[in-house]
Amino acid sequence: MSQTQSVAGNWVTLEPLSEDNRLEASRIDALRQRTPNLGGAPGRRDFARSFGPAMLIRANAGGAAVGLVENGHMIGYPGVAVVLIFVDPSLARPGIAMEAFAMYVARMFEAGARLVHLEVLAFNRPVLRMLARIGVAEQARLRDQVYAAGRFWDVLVFAFDADQYRQIWTRYARMLPGGDRGPAAIGARRKP
Amino acid sequence: MWSVRDPHESNASAGILELGDFSIRALGAEDFGLVRALQPSTPADIFELPESDHAFRAFIADLGAKPWSLPFVCLRAAVPIGVCFMSVAQLKNLNAYLVAVFSDPADAAVPLALYIRHAFWSFPLHRLYAHVPAFAAAIAHAEALARVGFKHEGVLAAHVPSHDGPQDAIVLGLLREEFNVWCAQNQPALAL
């Protein structure tokens, strides 16, 4: 699957950032900057080097842009992709973030990542619930690692490899209306 | 009723660079020979020390351009025994990644504490953290950090590539107030 293609799931489609969706991506990015959950963005990452482009998350129902997902190499750890996902809280619906995350992570492994690494603020309960639901266990708790929303917060660290991801995807796919059907590439550009 | 400690009536105003036989001083571009002597005792997975004078000068220049890097030499009876500096400083989150390498980590507690004290004294750091590969050759460095108050915060499972397959990295963290508690119990002269 090409890194420049969109990927369609049951609830969302991931689109590479382009001139076609630049304004939507800018709006979501501006919203992200004001959302303390994203204080969890880890410091040890290099977004100049990545396992593929950042992508816009678009809801299949209605076509609204609802989030962004991106990655970078983890500094000091060859082959480890740090993945960040943001979904507009006002537009978030059950399953949207989980499906977008699962599809994007698949691309990281296809692009050669050895591990996918996530860092989540301790108060970001929706994401922590999502990770617990798909069976990803906490590996470390970085105490007072991030200053957000007026105080220091712990950051929880998660990581998994391609084999663990396949097990996660199998569990997740069974929760979807489409059963075990995986994501499909649908071409480089979204149709108007 | 509460009171503010007058820094002139305590050691809080003093920049302490010596304690007993131990001292610390700034690491300069002329110190390549010193760093070279540390090469055999420094696992490359903790830090890959520059291997030429030219590379070392570039490394010092690069550190000098980064905030809060504070490259220092640690000495015992005026003989260099280690190097400490900080990287990946996150000014918003008031934390930094500590690199500390010693020829004899088992005997590094006092010079390491001197350096950490100087780091907390020099900058408004809230937290220092370090990752140490869980290799036999590197464990002594993790133990050295634990001896000056660093707490075990978990592991980054399989993050470190090696000839024997992926290995874990031990995550250690130290908060400013924890360091002050350590000082009160172990080296009161270093309390901030």
| CA separation for the pair B176, B116 (Å, rounded) | 9
Tell which CATH classification among 3.30.300.10, 3.55.10.10, 3.40.630.30, 3.40.50.300 matches the domain B17-190.
3.40.630.30
Q: Would an 8 Å CB–CB cutoff place A80 in contact with chain B?
A: yes
pLDDT of residue A44: 52
Q: Would an 8 Å CB–CB cutoff place B86 in contact with chain A?
A: no
Q: 3-state DSSP call for residue A84? A: strand
pLDDT of residue A15: 96
Residue A127 lies in a domain: yes
Q: Report whether pLDDT(A45) > 60.
A: no
Reported confidence tier of residue A175, pLDDT bands at 50, 70, 90: low
Chain B residue numbers with beta carbons less than 8 Å from the beta carbon of A137 are none
**Listed residue (B44, B49, B75, B46) closest to B60, CA to CA:** B49
Q: What is the pTM of this model?
A: 0.86
pLDDT, tens only, A144-161: 999 988 899 999 999 999
Chain A residue numbers with beta carbons less than 8 Å from the beta carbon of B97 are 43-44
Q: Report whether pLDDT(A105) > 90.
A: yes
pLDDT of residue A188: 37
Return the bridge partners of A146, or none.
A153
Q: Report whether pLDDT(A57) > 90.
A: yes
Reported confidence tier of residue A17, pLDDT bands at 50, 70, 90: very high
Please indicate whether residue B16 or residue A181 has the higher confidence score (pLDDT).
Answer: B16
What are the backbone dihedrals phi and psi of residue B184, each rounded to the nearest 5 degrees, phi first?
-60, -35
pLDDT, tens only, B12-68: 566 789 999 999 999 999 999 888 888 777 777 777 778 889 999 999 999 999 999
Residue A58 lies in a domain: yes
Q: Where are the domains of chain B?
A: 17-190
Q: Are A142 and B153 in contact (CB under 8 A)?
A: yes
Q: Are B61 and B71 in contact (CB under 8 A)?
A: no
Q: Would an 8 Å CB–CB cutoff place A127 in contact with chain B?
A: no
Task: Specify the range with the lowest mean pLDDT, choosing from A8-22, A41-55, A103-117, A130-144.
Answer: A41-55
Residue A188 lies in a domain: no
Q: Would an 8 Å CB–CB cutoff place B175 in contact with chain A?
A: yes
Residue A54 lies in a domain: yes
> Mean of the pLDDT values across residues A19-47?
74
Nearest to B161 among A44, A79, A147 (CB): A79
Q: Would an 8 Å CB–CB cutoff place B176 in contact with chain A?
A: no
Residue A150 lies in a domain: yes
| CA separation for the pair A144, A146 (Å, rounded) | 6
Q: Report whether pLDDT(A191) > 60.
A: no
pLDDT of residue A39: 41
pLDDT, tens only, B110-162: 999 999 999 999 999 999 999 999 988 889 999 999 999 999 999 999 999 98
Return the bridge partners of A68, or none.
A56, A86
Chain A residue numbers with beta carbons less than 8 Å from the beta carbon of B95 are 43, 144-145
Residue A112 lies in a domain: yes
What are the backbone dihedrals phi and psi of residue A67, each rounded to the nearest 5 degrees, phi first?
-175, 180
Q: What range does the domain containing A20 cover? A: 6-180
pLDDT of residue A126: 80
Kindly determine whether residue B166 and residue A147, on different chains, have CB atoms separated by under 8 Å.
no
pLDDT of residue B176: 98
What are the backbone dihedrals phi and psi of residue A148, each rounded to the nearest 5 degrees, phi first?
-150, 145
Residue A121 lies in a domain: yes
Number of domains observed in the structure of chain A: 1
Task: Specify the range with the lowest mean pLDDT, choosing from A70-74, A143-147, A153-157, A165-169.
Answer: A165-169
Q: Are A119 and A157 in contact (CB under 8 A)?
A: yes
Query: Can you read off the two tokens belonging to residue B192?
Result: 């901030």
Q: Percent of chain B beyond pLDDT 70?
A: 93
> Mean of the pLDDT values across residues B75-101?
93
Q: Would an 8 Å CB–CB cutoff place A141 in contact with chain B?
A: yes
Residue A187 lies in a domain: no
Task: Specify the range with the lowest mean pLDDT, choosing from A28-42, A81-95, B118-132.
Answer: A28-42
Structure letter (DSSP) for residue B44: T
Q: What's the CATH number where A133 sits?
A: 3.40.630.30
Task: Specify the range with the lowest mean pLDDT, choosing from B43-57, B63-77, B89-103.
Answer: B43-57
